[in-house]
Amino acid sequence: MKLEEIKTIDEIIAILGNIILESEANNNPLGYFAVLYQKVTIKVKEGIETNFFNDGDRMGTLDVVFAKRYLQAYYDYQKNEPVTTSWQTAFTLSKNYWPVVLQHLLVGINAHINLDLGIAAAEISKNKNLGDLEDDFNRINEILASLVNEVQDDLSRVWPTLKKILQKTRNVDDFLIDFSMELARDGAWMFAKSLAHLPDKELDSLIAARDQKITEKMNIITKPGFIARVILGVIRLGEKGSVAGKIRELKKALPSPPNGISRP
C-alpha cells in the first residue's frame, strides 16, 4: 500500500507490524521504536473509542497524518533518500553497537514528537482554528509521555537488572528525567502555532530551523556525560540476546491489537 493511500489508524497499526517483522528478521534496532510506536497508536485508537478526546474523528486524522511522517521518513531512509536531520540521527544510531535499547527509543520519540507532531497539528488545522485542537493535542502528549515512564518496565524484559541499576544510578536517572521534562514542555504546541500563522513559502525554512535545533538537543541521548556513558556501556553489555530477541521481548508488552489485526 502506498503511504498516500493510508486513511485509517488500523492501516497504520498494520504497517507498523510489518516494520516490526522486517526489523526482527533483519536484526535491525529500528524495530525497537516501531514496537513502541505501535503501542502508542493502539492506545490512541483506544482513546478515540472511549471518548478520551474531545473530537475523535479529528484525532483519528491527526494520528494518521502524524504517523505517516514517521513512515515516510522510515521508507525514505531505507531507499537512501533525504530525511530530516533529526530522523537521520535516529536512524543512523541503529548502525552503532553501543546504544542501549532505551537510547534507540528516545531518539525516535524526540524526532517524532518535537518535530513531526507540531507539523501534523498545523497541517490538519489549516484554514481552521488551531486553538480548538489544543486540549486533544495535550491529551495525545499525555499518552506519549506516560509511555516514556513505562519504557523502563518494558526494558526490564530485555535485562531484568536494568531497573536496579537505574534506581541506584543518579546520572542515568537524571538523563531520563531531563528527557522526560523535554517531553512535558509545550515546545511542540508552540511550534504548531508558529507554523499555523506562516504562509506556505516560509514553512520549509521554519521546519528546517526547528529540525536542526531538535537534532542538537538529541546530544543528551546520543552523547551523555562520561559517567552516564560508562553506565550505559555496562547496561549494553548486559543486554543479552540478539536484536531480534529484544524486539520479541518488547512485543510481549504490547496491548492486544484491534479486531482484524494480527500481532506481528
Whether 217 maps to a domain, the answer reads: yes
Q: 52 burial class (0-12, 13-18, 19+ CB within 10 angstroms)?
A: middle
Longest dimension (CA), the chain: 52
Q: DSSP string covering 103-143, please?
A: HHHHHHHHHIIIIIIHHHHHHHTTTS-GGGGHHHHHHHHHH
Whether 49 maps to a domain, the answer reads: yes
Which residues, including other chains, have CB under 8 Å from residue 194's CB and lie 6 or more apart? Answer: 206
Provide the pLDDT for residue 168: 62
Provide the pLDDT for residue 14: 95
Whether 133 maps to a domain, the answer reads: yes
Low-confidence ranges of the chain (pLDDT < 70): 1, 145, 148-186, 224-239, 253-264
How far apart (Å, rounded) are the C-alpha atoms in residues 44 and 201? Answer: 32
HSE of 263 in the Cβ direction (CA atoms, 13 Å)?
Answer: 11
Which residues, including other chains, have CB under 8 Å from residue 149's CB and lie 6 or more apart? Answer: 180
Which residues, including other chains, have CB under 8 Å from residue 183's CB and lie 6 or more apart? Answer: 109, 113, 141, 144, 145, 148
Tens of pLDDT, residues 36-78: 899 889 999 999 999 999 999 999 999 999 999 999 999 999 9
How far apart (Å, rounded) are the C-alpha atoms in residues 156 and 244? Answer: 16
HSE of 102 in the Cβ direction (CA atoms, 13 Å)?
Answer: 33
Provide the pLDDT for residue 260: 44
Whether 258 maps to a domain, the answer reads: no
Lookup: cell for 139: 491529551
Provide the pLDDT for residue 65: 96
List b or e across 212-221, with b for residues whose CB sees 16 or more CB atoms inside 10 angstroms.
eebbeebebb
Q: Is the dihedral of CA 137, 114, 3, 40 positive or negative?
A: negative
Whether 108 maps to a domain, the answer reads: yes
The count of domains in the chain is 1
**229 is in which domain, residue-wise?**
3-251
Whether 232 maps to a domain, the answer reads: yes
Lookup: cell for 15: 504497517
Stated pTM of the model: 0.84
Provide the pLDDT for residue 261: 43
Provide the pLDDT for residue 10: 95
Whether 41 maps to a domain, the answer reads: yes
Whether 181 maps to a domain, the answer reads: yes
How far apart (Å, rounded) are the C-alpha atoms in residues 114 and 101? Answer: 20
Lookup: cell for 256: 492486544
